[in-house]
Each structure stands twice: as structure tokens, then as C-alpha cells.
Amino acid sequence: MIVAQRKPFEEIKKSLAPYENIVVAGCGTCVAVCLAGGKKEVGLLASQLRMSFGLDKKNVKVSEVTLERQCDREFLETVKNEVEQAEAVLSMACGAGIQFLAEAYPQRPVYPGVNTTFIGVAEAAGLWTERCRACGECLLAETGGICPRTICSKGLNNGPCGGMMEGKCEVDPERSCAWVLIYDRLSQEDRLAAMEAVRQPTDYTRQTQPGKVTHAAYLRRYHADSK
């Protein structure tokens, strides 16, 4: 899932200063799971904003709405009334959702309520860690299911750097070196040959911004001449 962290309250409040009628829009998918921007977090933030504006003797209307997903047009349409009745929107979705919401309502200023951090997993209650950099050419088959481009701080392709110490990473001694983990895993699976091959430089054409993926069905529907 996409992991995000709520922005500091003061930053959020400052960005909303020009408005007297705002709607806080949550997203019910990834950011809800990582406790950054789901329905519950929307409620907490909206209450905090109301109290804070109240203490400032400022009359600001703060409404709440949470969509199933902000990265999908059909869900964005469901909040048309709430968005159009407000002067500005504070989106608690990931960066993709915030942008798609802004795109769907070009007449309304949209502000981010979270910082989007990475694609990761829920390692424990309240602990999320990164697992994927979305590089576009997955090499997990050859690295024992451990991604060096993500888990190695330097994203190295061919083995540990000289900073590895007692199996730990140069950058964070609390974290295992990705290449030591990969070596151990491949060794356990009797597949060390996969690590012996020299991996060529990463193909960054796979990461050209902005990325685009088209399904064959889409092409058939909208581009009849496509194969």
C-alpha cells in the first residue's frame, strides 16, 4: 500500500488561513490503513481545526467527507456537493489522490493534508516500512524476494558496499544490509548463482516520469487501430 504521514497541524492550519468554509476529504484505502487520512483521521483533524479556529475567534465552517478512493474518478464524483459547497478542500489522500481530486474540481483550491512517503507494508501495529520503489523492472526473482533497490540505502545492484558492518547497513546500524539478507536467502534456497551474475546498470527508461500503463482492453476500446 501507499504509506503517508499527516502533515504537522500548524502547516495545515496555515495553508487554510484564507478560507472560512473548508471540507476535509479523507480516502478510505491506503491512507486509512496507515492511520494518516481515513475517516477517523478526518474526524480528528476536523475537530482540531474547529477548536483551533474557535480559539482564534475565527468563524470557519469545517465539513468532513471520506471517499472510498480518491484515485478513481467514479468515487470523486460522489463528493461533488460537499466540494462545491466549500471554498477549499483539504485532501487527506496520498499525492496521487490529492492531484486527482484537484483535477476533478478545477474551480476549488485543493491542499494536501499528508506527506506521501512510500509503497510499503504494515510490519506491526503502528509500524510501516518501505518495500518497493516502483522501478518498473522487478528483479525480485533473482534477489530472493528482497529488493536491493529499495532495501539497500544506495540501491546497489551487485552486492554489499564497503560500509556494511557486522551485517548491518552503513546508513542505519539498526537495519540489516540488504545484500547480506539477499545472500543469506539465496544461500538457503541454494540459488546463489543468481547473485553471481553481474547486473547491468538499471534501465531508467522504465522510470520515465510520469509513468503510464495501458491495459490491452483500454487500447482496444479507445484506439481501434492499436494492436
Q: Report the nearest approach of other proteins to the CB of residue 8 (Å).
A: 19
Among 153, 185, 191, 194, binds other proteins (CB under 8 A): 153
Q: Are 26 and 39 in contact (CB under 8 A)?
A: yes
In angstroms, give the least distance from the CB of 191 to other proteins: 13
CA distance 31 to 24: 14
Looking at residues 183 to 202 of the shown chain, list those that interact with other proteins (rule: CB under 8 A).
183, 187, 192, 195-196, 198-202
- Residue 174 phi/psi, 5-degree rounding, is -80, -15
Q: Which is nearer to other proteins, 162 or 210 (CB)?
A: 162
Say which residue the cell 478526518 belongs to. 42
Least distance (Å) from other proteins to the CB of residue 161? 4
- Scanning 27-35, 114-122, 160-168, 209-217 for contacts with other proteins by CB under 8 A, the matching segment is 160-168
Cβ proximity to other proteins: between 75 and 183 the closer is 183
Is residue 67 within 8 A of residue 27, CB to CB? The reply is: yes
Rounded to an integer, what distance in angstroms lies between the CA atom of residue 192 and that of residue 90? 50
* Cα radius of gyration rounded to whole Å, the chain: 22
170 binds other proteins, rule: CB under 8 A: yes
Q: What's the grid cell of residue 199?
A: 547486473
Beta strands across the sheet bearing 127-132:
2-6, 114-124, 127-132
Rounded to a whole number of angstroms, the minimum distance from the CB of residue 199 to other proteins is 8
Given the complex with other proteins, which of 104 and 156 has the nearer CB atom? 156
Residues that bind other proteins (CB under 8 A): 153-168, 170-171, 173, 179-180, 182-183, 187, 192, 195-196, 198-202, 204
